[in-house]
Amino acid sequence: MAFTRYMSLLLTLLLLGNTVASATVFTLQNSCSYTIWPGTLSGDGGAIVGGDGGFPLPSGASVQLTAPLGWSGRVWGRTGCNFDSLGNGHCDTGDCGGLQCTGGGATPVTLAEFTIGVNNQQDFYDVSLVDGYNVGMGVRPAGGTGACQYAGCVADLNANCPAELQIMDSGAVVACKSACDAFNTPEFCCTGDHSTPQTCSPTYYSQMFKNACPTAYSYAYDDASSTCTCTGSDYLITFCPTGL
């Protein structure tokens, strides 16, 4: 009987250990003064996290989402959304086809991007302004090992967005385009003759983003100072963070 109880306890501990090791917890926290509708998109047909890809998150609220090992995808915040009882509608920024996202967020949009490691391999994560900016975001790892840097954009780029990049709604700037979206030229989009790290350099606009948000991706080849790593971590994703 003692052996049976021992084996039962051992099996339970193994199952619990597998459960802990099999998922990463994202805590989404809304520190904005208004409701955010987070959107999520999984890469390579992976599991959808977060209410089939979209849900409201009132000011001051937080929610936890669970992603399996090996998950890759992105999280972003939608603003100014209006949906009916069936989930049909649109958002002023970050729109993705309805309350439940059917694709990536419409640009310009601030993105948090993740690739979760397997077998004790590193996670890779970043906050990206490559597709522009609509709301501040921060990513803080919790409980992991390794470098585990903070990534994010605390500054309000809408307040200092150049006129040629502004997206306006009701007289207010609600988002700031990337130079690629605004001008669609190879030097701003890192395409054509500018499609390699050697030929695509920071521009006036990407440098403006980088100066405001040093730990965020500012253009396509901004890897060295913007890609973060951590092993075995959960992550706090904050909209409108107030500090690093």
Residue pLDDT, tens place only, 160-169: 999 999 999 9
**Could you tell me if 71 and 114 are in contact, meaning their C-beta atoms sit under 8 angstroms apart?**
yes
Residue 183 — very low, low, confident or very high, per pLDDT cuts 50/70/90? very high
In 3D space, the residue among 105, 104, 106, 126 whose CA is nearest the CA of residue 115 turns out to be: 126
Q: Pull the structure tokens for residue 131.
A: 């597709």
Whole-number pLDDT of residue 14: 33
Q: Which residues have CB under 8 Å from 2's CB, separation 6+?
A: none
Indicate the average pLDDT of the chain. 87
**Rounded CA separation 45/24 (Å):** 18
* Residue 209, token pair as written in the block: 């983003």
Note the pLDDT of residue 52: 64
Our measurement of the distance from residue 66's CA atom to the centroid of its chain's CA atoms, rounded to an integer in Å, reads 14
Task: Report whether the peptide linkage leading into residue 108 is cis, meaning its omega lies within 30 degrees of zero.
Answer: yes
A 10 A CB-CB count for 58 gives: 11
Q: How many CA atoms lie within 13 A of 86 on its CB side?
A: 3
Q: What is the model's pTM?
A: 0.87
- Give the DSSP H/E element, type plus range, for residue 91: none
Q: Which fold has domain 25-154+206-239?
A: Thaumatin (2.60.110)
SS3 of residue 62 by DSSP: strand
Q: How far apart, in Å, are the Cα atoms of 137 and each of 17, 73, 140, 225? A: 32, 16, 10, 17
Measured CA to CA, the distance from residue 37 to residue 51 in angstroms comes to 11
Range in 32-36, 103-107, 165-169, 173-177 with the lowest mean pLDDT: 103-107
Angle at 94 between CA 90 and CA 98, to 5 degrees: 35
Whether residue 198 has pLDDT greater than 50: yes
Under 8 Å between Cβ of 10 and 16: no
Residue 83, classified by CB atoms within 10 Å of its CB into exposed (0-12), middle (13-18) or buried (19+), is middle
Predicted local confidence at residue 11, as pLDDT: 33
